[in-house]
Amino acid sequence: MVRINNYFVHLFIIALLAVGISAQAGNTLCAEADVSNDSLPQSEVEKIVLTPEEIVVQGEMEQQEAGTEGESASLSHLSLSVPDDEKTSSESYQPHRGMDWRMFKSVTNPATKSYTFWQDQTWVGIPVFFAGLIAKGEKEAFRQNYKNPNTKIRLIKYNFHSEIDNYTQYVPLALTIGLHLGGVEGRSDWPRFWASSAMSAAIMAGLVNGIKYTASEMRPDGSTRNSWPSGHTATAFMAATILHKEYGLTRSPWYSVGAYTLATATGVMRVLNNRHWISDVLSGAGIGILSVELGYGICDLLFKGRGLLRNDLNFYPDLRANPSFFSISMGIGLGNRNLTLPGIEYNFPKELVEDQSESVSPPLELKFRMATAVGAEAAYFFNPYVGVGGRLRVKSTPINGWSAFAMSDHADLKEFLSDPSMANTIQNIQLTIESDHITEFAGDAGVYFSLPLSSRFALGSKLLVGRSIMDDIDVNAAYDGQQLQFNIDGLDDPNAQMFTPTGAMVSSKWDYINVSASNSMKFGTGISLTYAHRNSFSWRVFCDYDFSRKTFKAEYNPMKFLKDLSPDMADLLNTLGVDVTQSFTSSMRKSLHQWVLGGALCVSF
């Protein structure tokens, strides 16, 4: 309870910070409204403030009665009529100016049209939720072989940690409250806004917790079994969708773009913090969006037309006029299916290995499975055809047999240390698979193209250039036991003991094998088909192609522990030209041709 209260304290502080900005924005908007209203005669103002369904263009009727053709009535000849009772109500409504502390006072703009339950439902959250469910079924693409007890389960190796996602999840909602306090009219008045937000939060909390404690999915850090779906991400997308409905649809789509960008960043942070799988984040996003649509729809039934201040600017997005977008996507990766690295040359001296052919290992062959890719992409168009934008994408490719390879080497290492003279000196030998998939992080920017086919459909393409960063795949080793003194006579005399325990305890950890790829430039293109759904949401299917050229390197060090286990033996090998602390390596340069087929949810603007 203390933690929950702290969250609301943080939310309140953020809301107060947003008040200053939003108050100034509200005053500016009101000032602009004053200028526009003052520039019109009072009679014209009275004619404009009407409900849309009751507007009658009498200028056109007069034109038809006069029998004129090919001419348009001017504004001076245009008269709009409305029933006297509603006209009086419309004239009496004035937008609030300045700070708005009327948190429990109901205010209605009679010029607005009430919403039905179905008008608030886009159902886009359902496919996003099921995308997470599909990713959950393909979790091997984003985690190691967790059936192996010596496997760590992380999407990335490096220990990233930040608590900022504990706060960013609430920022869109805090901004919505701040805009309301600043006097910037949104869709709802205070009572209707509180009711819609509370209903949305209740639905979201019920769905998230109901699924969490039924599915009992282990978190990637192994802490608890309540991973799927992500509650932080659901909260973030719930808050973003509230801002989208209150201000993104009624004032400017930039509110929606900023809100969903921040919500996506929150989900990414949950993955980087190793608290959630990508499947958890996708399903959480779907629940967050769906909860708000249901919450607002229920309040439409309860409030009807009461408490509405503004209607949506554009119910259906027009891709001919608004091709700009922000999207979150998921797809499958195709392309290079294997990577064969040359055999590793051990460079053992002839004094140790007479047959030098044994100094070269067999080629290291990596066989890739189908990759899974998730990303965020955005573009701003200067006209209906050309724009600029960028893309961030994470793609994870599992490697077949990597876990089995590591376990085989584990057995070889134990056999190497099974000399009778080492009996009772080894307490622990362990190989830990740090990662068994290649994870690529890529950022691109470039030119985007759109070809509108109609108001609802558009073809798209792009030309991108960017940077590709790949995470290593590796196996770490650990040894605990007694330090040994090496007896050189044991090499020639089978009756002599090769090692003698010293009684000193040693512990050694080292990189056993590592496969890495160089960072590189990448070039990309692709084609897409976009369908404008409703409420600024669009769906997109796409096929992307990326090309890059990388240098892959394998580093193998099976003997580094000898420096701690037996310093005498390590010194002898060093005099013979073998440095046990140095890794044996092989490398090759390879061109990568990668395809991603997938779908995306877009916010069009």
CB 461 within 8 A of CB 525: yes
Asked whether residue 291 carries a pLDDT value surpassing 90, the answer given is yes
Domain presence at residue 593: yes
Please give the Cα distance from 432 to 380 (Å, whole number): 46
Tell me, yes or no, whether 279 and 218 share the same domain. Answer: yes
386-400 vs 437-452, strand pairing mode: antiparallel
- C-beta of residue 476 within 8 angstroms of C-beta of residue 431: yes
Cα–Cα distance for residue pair 434/270, rounded to 1 Å: 20
Same domain, 268 and 391: no
Which residue, 206, 208, 183, 460, is CA-closest to 309?
183
* 545 closest CA partner among 393, 348, 328: 393
Phi-psi region of 274 (alpha: psi -120 to 50; beta: other; left: phi over 0): left
Find all residues with CB under 8 Å of 335, minimum gap 6, and list them: 371, 592, 593, 594, 595
**What single-letter amino acid sits at 66?**
A
- Phi/psi at 54 (5° precision): -110, 10
- Considering the domain architecture, whether residues 221 and 350 belong to the same structural domain is answered as no
- Could you identify the residue written with the tokens 């390197």? 553
Phi, psi of 232 (to 5 degrees): -60, -45
Query: Residue 372 and residue 396: Cα distance in Å, rounded?
Result: 6
Structure tokens at 123: 């159902």
Burial class, 344, CB count within 10 angstroms (exposed 0-12 / middle 13-18 / buried 19+): buried
In terms of domains, do 439 and 579 share one?
A: yes
pLDDT of residue 408: 64
Q: 517 with 574, same domain? A: yes
Q: What is the pLDDT of residue 98?
A: 85
The amino acid at residue 596 is: V
Q: Give the rounded percent of residues in the chain with a pLDDT score beyond 70.
A: 72
Residues 187 and 271 in one domain: yes
| pLDDT for the residue numbered 273 | 85
Weakest mean pLDDT among 11-25, 161-175, 243-257, 306-320? 11-25
CATH of the domain at 518: 2.40.160.20
* Same domain? 362 vs 439: yes
Predicted structure pTM score: 0.72
Please answer whether residues 470 and 442 qualify as being in contact, where contact means their C-beta atoms are separated by less than 8 angstroms: no
Whether 417 and 348 have beta carbons less than 8 Å apart is answered as no
Query: Is 145 found in the same domain as 18?
Result: yes
Domain limits at 454? 325-604
Dmax (CA) for the chain in angstroms is 125
444, 542: one domain: yes
- For the record, the structure tokens of 392 come out as 């961030």
Would you say 418 and 354 are in contact if contact means Cβ atoms under 8 Å apart? no
Q: What is the pLDDT of residue 581?
A: 79
Q: Is there a domain that residue 139 lies in?
A: yes
Last residue of a domain, one of 92, 116, 142: 92
For residue 342, say if its preceding peptide bond is cis, omega within 30 degrees of 0: no
pLDDT for position 57: 37
Looking at 272, 303, 334, which one is the last position of a domain?
303
Is residue 289 domain-shared with residue 332, that is, in the same domain?
no
Residue 101 confidence (pLDDT) above 50: yes
Among residues 548, 547, 554, 148, the alpha carbon closest in space to that of 365 is found at 554
Question: Could you identify the residue written with the tokens 């079924």?
Answer: 137
Which residues make Cβ contacts (< 8 Å) with residue 592, sequence separation at least 6?
335, 336, 546, 547, 548, 549, 550
Task: Could you list the beta-strand ranges (E) of 167-267.
Answer: none
By the 8 A CB rule, do 552 and 449 touch? no
Compute the distance between CA of residue 541 and CA of residue 598 in angstroms, rounded to an integer. Answer: 6
The letter for the amino acid at 474 is D
Distances (CA, A) of 370 to 90, 297, 418, 509: 61, 40, 40, 33
The pLDDT score that the predictor gives to residue 16 is 41
**Residue 318, in any domain of the structure:** no
Give, for 441, the enclosing helix (H) or strand (E).
strand 437-452
Number of domains in the chain: 3
Instruction: Please report the pLDDT score of residue 345 as a whole number.
Output: 64
More confident residue, 315 or 239: 239
- Give the whole-angstrom CA distance, residue 179 versus residue 446: 34
Instruction: Measure the CA–CA gap between 488 and 304, rounded to whole angstroms.
Output: 93
Residue count (the chain): 605
Average pLDDT over residues 381-396: 94
Residue with the two structure tokens 């990637």: 220
Contact yes or no for 446/471 (Cβ under 8 A): no
Are 446 and 537 contained in the same domain? Answer: yes
Ranking 68-72, 197-201, 585-589 by mean pLDDT, the lowest is 68-72
Q: What gap in Å lies between CA 47 and CA 28, rounded to an integer?
A: 25
Contact (Cβ atoms closer than 8 angstroms) between residue 441 and residue 488: no
**Residue 187, helix vs strand vs coil:** coil
CB hemisphere CA count around 308 (13 angstroms): 22
The two tokens of residue 395 are: 């793609």
**Is residue 261 located within the same domain as residue 342?**
no
Q: Is residue 439 part of a domain?
A: yes
Q: In the predicted model, is pLDDT for residue 597 greater than 70?
A: yes
Burial of 327: CB neighbours in 10 Å, binned 0-12, 13-18, 19+: buried
Any domain includes 468: yes
Q: Is residue 317 part of a domain?
A: no
Classify residue 134: in a domain, yes or no: yes
Q: Which residues contact 239 (CB under 8 A, 6 or more apart)?
A: 169, 170, 171, 172, 173, 174, 176, 259, 263, 288
Assess if residue 313 is contained within a domain.
Answer: no
- Residues forming beta bridges with residue 532, ordered by sequence position: 538
Segment 196-235, tens digit of pLDDT: 999 999 999 999 999 999 998 888 878 899 999 999 999 9
User: Is the CB of residue 426 less than 8 Å from the CB of residue 379?
Assistant: no
Q: Please, which pLDDT band fits residue 405 given cuts at 50, 70 and 90?
A: low
- Residue whose pair of structure tokens reads 């090759």 in the numeric block: 588
**Residue 85 tokens, joined:** 């009772």
pLDDT in tens, 460-511: 999 999 999 988 888 888 878 888 887 777 666 777 777 788 878 888 888 8
What is the SS3 assignment for 157? coil
